[in-house]
Structure formats: structure tokens, C-alpha cells
Amino acid sequence: MTLRKSFPVFDCDAHINDPIEIWSEYVEPEYRDLVMDTYWKDNKQSLLNGRTRVPGAANYEFADWSYNPASISGPGMQDKRVLRRLQQMRTTPEQKDYLDHKGAYESHARLRDMDLMGIDQVVIIPSMILNNLPYAENAEGASVLVRAYNNWAVDYCKAAPERLFPAGLLPPQNPTHAVEEIRRLAELDFRVALIPAHGRKRKLPQSHLLRHWRRRGEHGCGFPSVRGDGARPRNPYLSGAASGAKFSDGFAKPIHDERDDRQVDHSKFYEVDCRDPGAIEAAVRSIAASGPIDSLFYCAGLPGGSFSGVDVMLVNFLGLRHMAEACVSHMKPGDAIAGISSGAGMGYLMAMERIQQLIALTGHAEARTWVETNADEDWFEGYSFSKLPYVVAIVEIEEDPAVRLMTNIVNAEPEDVRVGMPVRVVFEHHSDDDGDVWIPLFEPDPERS
């Protein structure tokens, strides 16, 4: 039964609450142990990398007198005040069961909900897997799991294939597997796929995921980060294989202009060592020979860890810059260049002086020299930017020592901060809908040190 209405309604973000059967029935038995060590959910817990319990949005995670917000989350319920009140509300077990909408797990129930709400079609999206999968350390395990999820999603949607559409999940750990899965999903008639990102507003993931995020470099895994405020570019990026990075326009889905009926060839792969400016230039020349470049998506990157700091900087920044410069002359106004930024992003205020030194060197060779010269400095080590702690201090105002301000000490190495050190104010400007604010921060005062 559908409501009478004069327009179709399509929900492209219809979450399901990852049911346990994805693991218990869709992960192939021979990979069970592997996936248990990667990301596992059962009727007791959700476990990341075999050692960290993570929220799995399962009913048992919520008290008997409470309810599971994952199955009924929606607009307005993200407001923290509302959420807090809801979390303290008491429910009976019957109420708890009623609120746990079965449509989050089971397609016929979903169709009934859709009918009640007047929704014609949905794309179903997984939930906690999106949050947790980026931190899985084992690329193969992640690939097996996304296959299991995608197969479950196909079955879920069989109840009404003209109304339920699965969004395919891709493993962020390994680009090659991701491409293979894209091809498999295309055979299964998926219309869309998604890749989970580390997308948090703060600099670092939640504390219980932090150690996994730090270790991902050791396993040669990276993952894309696609959210962040404009001022502070966020970090990681897709890693390539081995010591270089594969440049492939199979990844960068060309923005196809409908008015232009040029056929774009997806099948060209060029192997480029992104540390090598000559190789970058050669590749760009080859690509440009077959037609203009509409967009550049530079997602090559090295995650630090086993890669040297110099290589990290060469691929993640200098290669990006060089490639962008090489491409630009083959692009036209309005075309897009996207890069996934790296080391310079984290704690950039503290590193500002050094960043400015580096970007002032516009040539590849001189910038490389700077990088190599500084490669042995403590602050330079691969991902150390991402590990910078912040310093909170109480500062006494010289003009009136009875007045103190709580503040952050900036533009100083935390190890160099000392009780009693002379500091001077630095105002940081912020503005939002409510107006402008200047926050007083303090930096070492060179004139009185």
C-alpha cells in the first residue's frame, strides 16, 4: 500500500543496522578466522583487529531499560540535548523491542516502513561498518568482509529489486581490491559504491580507535579522508603499492560532461614513480597526448611507517604539486584538481614557519633539497605531524599578575615549554554565524627569553 502523492520519493541514504548474519552467514567459512581478526560482530561484541571492542550498535550494547538509537536515528535526533534526554529515558523491554525497527535488518519490514512513510525507493547504506572498517588493519580481511556485506545487501534487496538498491561497500585498505570489487559489483548490477573515509571533525579519531589509526601505516594500509574544515586539511590518503604509487585514471572517475559525447577511456593505467618529477612529466605528456585533462585527483600517498620521511614528503606533497603544475597547462578554467593532503595538515599552526619555508621553494629540486636537509629533525619524521600534542597552560599577565588566563602555548615544541617562560599573546580569529571571536593564545616571547 502506498500513499497517494504526486511525486516520487527516493531516499539515497537509507541506513541499515549491520545485522550479525553478515558475519555469521556471509563470510566464507575459510576466511572466518581472518575476519574475526579484522572486524567482527556477533551477539556479544563488536571487535576491531581482534583486540578492541568498538560500538557495533547492537541491542545488547544498550541497557534493558533503554533502547537502541541506531535503528531509529534520524533528523533532530543528532542534537546532543535531545540525544541525552533520549538516552536517559526509561523503556520497558517491550518498548525497547518496538523501537528497534526491524526494517533496519530485514527487507520486508523495511518495505512496510517505506510504504507507511511514502518512500518509493531507497539505496541502503551500512552503518557501523562504515565507522569501523577504515581502522581495520588487515587488507585481505577487510576485502572479505566487504564482499560478505555486498552479498548480504544483494539478498536483502531481492525482496523488491525495483525499490531496494544496495550501495556497494569498497575496502579502503587496498585500492587493487577495491577495483576488483567494483568490477564484481558492476556484474551484479550495483548502481553505486561507496568507500568509507576517516571523516571526523576533530583531528584524531575517537580514543578507542586511535591506536589502530596509528598502526595502519605499519601494515601498508592507508585510507582516504574526505572531510574536514577548509582551514585545516585533514590527513591520510590512499597508499599505493610497493615503493611508488600507481597513477591511474581508473580511480579518478572522470567528470563526464553530458554535453560532450567524447568517450573517455577508463582502461589506461600508467605506472609512475611519484617521487620522480621526470616520470610525472612523462606520464602527463602521454595522457595529454590523447586529449585534454578534465580533472586531476591526486590520491597517491605514502603513510609513513616503513617509508622514509623523505619519500613520504616527495610523494605526498612534492609529487602532488609537480603533477598539478604539469597537468594545469592541459586543463581549462572550471576543471577540478583535488588532492588528499598529508603531513603538512596536522598541527599546522605549530609548524607554520617550516611549512612556509618549504612552500616558498617553488622548484622541485630545491624543495627536495630542503626536505632532505631537514629529514633528520625530530619534527620531520613521517607522521609525527599527526602526533603533535597540544599544550594547555595558565599564563600570568605581566601588567596585572593577579589575572591569569587559561590558554594554549603555540609555536613552540611541547618539550621546550617551561613553567615561568616569558610568552606573548597571539590572537586566533574565528568566525561563525554568531560573529567574530578572537581567542588569546600565547607563544614564546623572543624579546624577553
Partner 1 sequence: MDANEIIERRACISGIGQSEVGRRLNRDPFELTLDGCLAAVEDAGLRVDEIDGLSTYPGMGGPPGFSGAGAIAVHDALRLELQWFDSGIETSGQLGSVIKACLAVGAGLANHVLCFRSVWEGSAQGTKGRAGVMPGGGQRSQGRTPGGEWTLPFAAPSAAVWVAMFAQRHFHRYGTTREQLAQIALNARKNAALNPKAIYTEPMTLEDYFNARMICSPFGLFDCDVPCDGATAIVVSRVERARDLRHTPIRVEAVGTALRGRPSWDQFDDLSTMGNRDAGAHLWQRTDLKPSDVDLVELYDGFSFLTLSWLEALGLCPVGESGPFVEDGKRIARDGELPLNTHGGQLSAGRLHGYGFLHEACVQLRGQGGPRQVAKPNPQVAIAAAGGGNTCGCMLLTRE
- Binding residues for partner 1 (CB under 8 A): 53-55, 61, 63-65, 80-81, 84, 87-88, 206-208, 390, 392-394, 402-408, 418-420, 439, 441
Q: Which is nearer to partner 1, 1 or 419 (CB)?
A: 419
Smallest separation (angstroms) from partner 1 to the CB of 55: 6
Q: Which is nearer to partner 1, 54 or 302 (CB)?
A: 54
Q: Which is nearer to partner 1, 176 or 206 (CB)?
A: 206
Smallest separation (angstroms) from partner 1 to the CB of 419: 4
Smallest separation (angstroms) from partner 1 to the CB of 347: 13
Smallest separation (angstroms) from partner 1 to the CB of 49: 16
Q: Which is nearer to partner 1, 82 or 116 (CB)?
A: 82
Smallest separation (angstroms) from partner 1 to the CB of 406: 5
Q: Which is nearer to partner 1, 68 or 151 (CB)?
A: 68
Q: Which is nearer to partner 1, 116 or 437 (CB)?
A: 437
What is the C-alpha separation between 225 and 230, in angstroms, rounded? 13
Smallest separation (angstroms) from partner 1 to the CB of 93: 14
Smallest separation (angstroms) from partner 1 to the CB of 392: 4
Q: Which is nearer to partner 1, 62 or 270 (CB)?
A: 62
Asked if residue 168 lies in contact with residue 45, where contact means CB atoms within 8 angstroms, the answer is no
Length of the chain, please?
A: 449
Closest by alpha carbon to 302, among 265, 261, 263, 340? 340
What is the C-alpha separation between 362 and 366, in angstroms, rounded? 8
